[in-house]
Amino acid sequence: MQERLKELQTEALEKISTAADLKELNDIRVSYLGKKGPITEVLKGMGKLSAEERPKMGALANEVRDSIAAGIEQKQKHHEEAAVKQKLAAEKIDVTLPGRPVKTGNHHPLTRIIEEIEDLFIGMGYTVAEGPEVEKDYYNFEALNLPKGHPARDMQDSFYITEEILLRTHTSPVQARTMEKHEGKGPVKIICPGKVYRRDNDDATHSHQFMQIEGLVVDENIRMTDLKGTLEVFAKKMFGDDREIRLRPSFFPFTEPSVEMDISCKICGGKGCSVCKGTGWIEILGAGMVHPNVLEMAGFDSKKYTGFAFGMGPERIAMLKYGVDDIRHFYTNDVRFLKQFSIHE
Ligand code: FA5
């Protein structure tokens, strides 16, 4: 019996040493240490042994069992470590490889111009206001001294949704809305950037959808010279001291007196080209002193308060600043055009 146990021990340890994987080890465990295994089988014959030999044989059987179990455990550890090493090797990352370049986007040139203009006016104490693009006829026209049937409504061909609702044709309705919110109390000092829509035919300087930035100042003692000074500061900061500016008398029903401001054309240097339609000048904004009727309709006492307002076209400003010869470039989104304004390359 002793010999048989020793034999089984040698046989099992040999098998353990050559076991190729965890499954094979488990099979060895079941076959040698299981209830139906050869060791249990040998031990069944213990009854035939003398009382003296029995505990010795029992101790030997335990020793054999323990050595086989320890052998399996050791080999199992070895296989597990090898498996981890193999996995780590397979998943190894070469941290020295260069990363994939990330393509960075860019602000659209119009966004850049609008942010630049906003910063300039915020620096002069203005706040930024907003209003709806789908607007009531009342705010787009009536509150701006343009009652129904007024001939000057034709100056801004409109997209109507219903008889009372339209796509705003300018950002001036934000003037009326803001003044109304102030309930007759000044000062008001806002700029309002946003999209506007007109039934204009698209050409080099006209688009049916374009941007405007409205400005409005209402307070006691606001004069035409304040407007002129503000526009001059704006034009010099935006275009540089070398560009020429001119104010022309004009007409808007919501301002009196009214002016339009032109800047000398950058494309032709003032000689005349297709962009400036041969005049050497490009109109960039309309402005004037807020009409007393507009102040009164919005709840301001026109004897106490005066104000100025202006409305400019950022596309025209961007064209002049960057020398762009067609407004449609801003809306066709040709990446070759847009890339020229990249600050990353
Ligand atoms: C107005 O829209 C007035 N609301 C501006 C104003 C505000 C005057 C406050 C007085 C007081 P006008 O239609 O001229 O005015 O347009 C203003 C500017 O928008 C123009 O100077 C021009 O720069 C730009 N603009 C007008 N029509 C178009 C168009 N179809 N495409 C691109 N830009 C345009």
The whole-number pLDDT of residue 308 equals 98
Mutation probe of ligand 1 site: the residue of 200, 205, 210, 231 with most atoms within 8 A of C-beta: 210
In the numeric block, the tokens 């060791």 are attached to 39
CA 26 to mean position of chain CA atoms: 58
The whole-number pLDDT of residue 196 equals 97
Rounded mean pLDDT, 297-325: 94
Identify the residue whose C-alpha is closest to ligand 1 atom 9. 310
Tokens matching residue 93: 């990352």
Name the maximum alpha-carbon separation found in the chain.
Answer: 132
- Please give the residue that has the higher pLDDT: either 256 or 103: 256
Domain boundaries, the chain: 2-90, 109-341
Residue 345 has pLDDT above 60, yes or no: no
DSSP 3-state assignment of 210?
strand
Closest ligand 1 atom, CA of 215? 9
Question: What are 189-240's pLDDT values in tens digits?
Answer: 999 999 999 998 999 889 999 999 999 999 999 999 999 999 989 998 998 8
Q: 124: Cβ–Cβ under 8 A, 6 or more apart, which residues? A: 230, 233
H or E stretch at 100: none
Looking only at the bridges linking them, the beta strands covering 306-312 and 281-290 are antiparallel
* Cα–Cα distance, 279 to 302 (Å, whole number): 38
Task: Say which DSSP state 102 is in.
Answer: P
Q: At what angle do helices 53-90 and 22-33 cross, to 10 degrees?
A: 170
Mutation probe of ligand 1 site: the residue of 285, 308, 312, 315 with most atoms within 8 A of C-beta: 285
DSSP 3-state assignment of 138?
helix
Closest ligand 1 atom, CA of 313? 23
In the numeric block, the tokens 């800047």 are attached to 263
Question: What are 144-159's pLDDT values in tens digits?
Answer: 999 998 887 877 789 9
Name every protein residue with a CB atom under 6 angstroms from any ligand 1 atom: 156, 170, 172, 198, 200, 206-207, 210, 212, 214, 252, 255, 283-288, 309-313, 315-316, 327
* Cα–Cα distance, 95 to 24 (Å, whole number): 37
Identify the residue whose C-alpha is closest to ligand 1 atom 6. 311
Domain 109-341 has CATH 3.30.930.10: yes
* Cα–Cα distance, 121 to 189 (Å, whole number): 10
Return mean pLDDT, the chain.
90
Per-residue confidence band for 344, with pLDDT thresholds at 50, 70 and 90? low
